[in-house]
Chain A
């Protein structure tokens, strides 16, 4: 008889339906992020997101979306056309599509690098970063490549 130690890694895929349920009940949820699709701001397994049930969706917002059944991503909205949403991860080059109803979470902010202070999505840091990174989209392939192959090995993650 043992309890396994805390911080057992759960696949987000199995947790997320529960997370969505909690969001719909009106709770906020803290979730550890997996994957590299929101680089350079967010890093796999390092950062956490504070999520809430989405209200109004705007271009530029990072959201949690179920883009296919049981396949969830946290990406930025880059286009809204009626009910059709186009998503693009900051660390990605290709877009994804879903419907408005598939957006299951909005982001209040991120806890980065194990800090206890929240980088709010309505805060100065996130807004400036968003503006700069979105504007640099034409050079994204190069920037991400340099970041991955040179910057991280030499200087570590941002």
Chain B
């Protein structure tokens, strides 16, 4: 897996947040906030060209007092969330365990739909001003 370009950590009021940075525009409408551990792992993941759950677990064990099995377990969940949020890409993103494949397919369909410009109803002002 790899982190998508443009999702950089910022500190706002002591909180770690990620906002989508385009080449020009920065979108503050959807903000992802991360706790300290997630933020640490995000920075590690960004520094790697390609990362696996095991890579991150190694870094986490090195930094925090945690055994590797727990680290792998937690990171798998975290990375699955990252995948759902759409801030990482790759074929080996784990699925959130409580979700069946069917629902994930559904979410995928939903996101695709969102990207296509939805058919818009004529708004009030459009009706008024033509």
Contact = CB atoms under 8 A, between A and B. Distances in A.
Contacts of B117: 116-117
Those 7 A-B pairs whose CB atoms lie nearest each other, nearest first = A14-B13, A158-B124, A30-B27, A28-B25, A32-B29, A1-B74, A3-B38
Contact of B38 (A1, A128, A129): A1
Interface stretch (A4-12, A75-83, A87-95, A96-104): A4-12
Interface of B: 10, 12-13, 17, 21, 24-35, 37-38, 74-75, 77-78, 81-82, 85, 117-118, 120, 123-126, 129
For this complex, into which size category does the number of interface residues on chain A fall?
A: 35 or more
Contacts, number: 92
B125 A129 contact: yes
A35 B98 CA distance: 37
A128 B12 contact: no
10 contacts: A1-B74, A4-B33, A6-B30, A22-B26, A27-B24, A30-B25, A113-B123, A115-B120, A117-B120, A158-B124
